[in-house]
Structure 1
Amino acid sequence: MSDIKSLFATRLYRAALSEQGDPIDTNELEASCYSIAEDDEAGQQWCEENGYPGYTSYASLTDLGWRFPIFADLIAVLDRHVQAFARDLEFDLGDRALKLEDIWINILPEGGTHGSHIHPHSVISGTTYVAMPEGASALKLEDPRLPMMMAAPTRQKGAREELRSFVYVAPKPGEVLLWESWLRHEVPMNLSEEDRISVSFNYSWG
């Protein structure tokens, strides 16, 4: 009898923030994101110079947990989610823990995109979603084996999710997604007239 099994799994963690702590008020978090974006002149300048649509604090701020208490609360919850994901991945961390390396705000307006990329110096990356209006783009995840499939045919329409070349995940506000940092991902064009708001982060080892 044939034995067919899946090997080398790519894991994706999805959960409500409230599963690992007190609920985070997404309305307060949204207001904090806009307040920081309005005051962050260095971040605004970086976005303009680099052609980044909307706003990101990635290149300008490293202290969100200090600026607003709600970000400190968020980080505490994210720490627990990352610990849960690390257990699922069966990492042997030894005496070194996974620690928050950086955390940043993303405000993507109508028509904005964020091209395909990875986070090469981290172990676990992720995003928690603050505002996902109708029409806002889902997160697009790419099969990491894709560059090696030089002569492979395309998958059938409706193929099992684990066999698809790309998977789209549309989270709700108050949810968090986690993945290993080598997993290539992107944000397609935001087709909503309203902003798509998220907070992204990286965790490193040691």
Structure 2
Amino acid sequence: MPTIESLFVTRLYHAALSEFKPKIDADELEQSCYVIAEDDEAGQEWCEANEYPGYTSYASLTDLAWRFPIFKSLVKALDKHVAAFAKDLEFNLDERKLVLEDLWINILPEGGTHGSHIHPHSVISGTTYVAMPKGASALKLEDPRHAMMMAAPPRNKDARRELKSFIYMKPEVGDVLLWESWLRHEVPMNGSEFDRISVSFNYRWE
């Protein structure tokens, strides 16, 4: 009788932000994102120069937790989620810690996309979702083995979830998704007439 097992598992963490304190007021967080976007001239200029749809603070504001108390509280909650994920991954951190490297706002309008990418030099990356109107795009995650598949045939459409080439995660407001930073991902086109708002982040091993 043959034995078949799954090897080299790719883990994805999915939880409600509210599972760990402090509690974050969703309306206040959304309003803060818009206020920052309006005031961040450097970020607006970067988005225009790089043809980024909507707004991101990725290249302009690296100290959101210092500037705004709600982001300081957000980081405290995210630290606990990341610690829980690292425990599940069975990382040997050698008495060192995973610490926040950067955290940024994404406001994606109707028709906006964010192309496929990874997060080099980080250990864990993730996103918490601030506004996900009906029709807003899911997060698309790619099988990291694609580059090695060469002549492999495509998967059946009804293939088991763990064998699919792409996974689409449709988070809700207040959700947190975490993954290892080498996992390629993208945000397909936002099909909603309203903004899709998220806060993304990276953690490094310090």
Provide TM-score, normalisation by structure 2. Answer: 0.99
2:61 aligned with 1:61? yes
Identity of aligned residues (%): 76
**Distance (whole Å) between structure 2 residues aligned to residue 28 and residue 119 of structure 1:** 28
Is residue 22–residue 74 contact of structure 2 (8 Å, CA) maintained in 1? no
The match for 1:152 is 152
**Distance (whole Å) between structure 2 residues aligned to residue 4 and residue 133 of structure 1:** 41
The match for 1:31 is 31
**Distance (whole Å) between structure 2 residues aligned to residue 23 and residue 190 of structure 1:** 28
Please list every run of 5 or more consecutive structure 1 residues that lacks an aligned counterpart in the other structure. none
- The more displaced of 15-24 and 145-154 is 15-24
Residue by residue, what CA displacement relative to the aligned partner does 1:148-202 show, whole Å, maximum 9, x if unpaired? 1111010111111100000000100001000000000000000000000000000
**Distance (whole Å) between structure 2 residues aligned to residue 22 and residue 163 of structure 1:** 37
**Distance (whole Å) between structure 2 residues aligned to residue 23 and residue 170 of structure 1:** 22
**Distance (whole Å) between structure 1 residues aligned to residue 60 and residue 196 of structure 2:** 20
1:90-101 maps to which residues of 2 (within 5 A)?
Answer: 90-101=90-101
Is residue 22–residue 76 contact of structure 2 (8 Å, CA) maintained in 1? no
1:8-19 maps to which residues of 2 (within 5 A)?
Answer: 8-19=8-19
**After TM superposition, where is structure 1 displaced by more than 4 Å over at least 4 residues in a row?**
none
**Distance (whole Å) between structure 2 residues aligned to residue 66 and residue 90 of structure 1:** 31
Provide TM-score, normalisation by structure 1. Answer: 0.99
Corresponding pairs, count? 206
1:1-206 maps to which residues of 2 (within 5 A)?
Answer: 1-206=1-206
Residue by residue, what CA displacement relative to the aligned partner does 1:36-91 show, whole Å, maximum 9, x if unpaired? 00000000000000000000000000111122111111000000000000000000
**Distance (whole Å) between structure 2 residues aligned to residue 130 and residue 26 of structure 1:** 7
Amino acid at match of 1:9: V
TM-aligned CA deviation for residue 23 of structure 1: 2.7
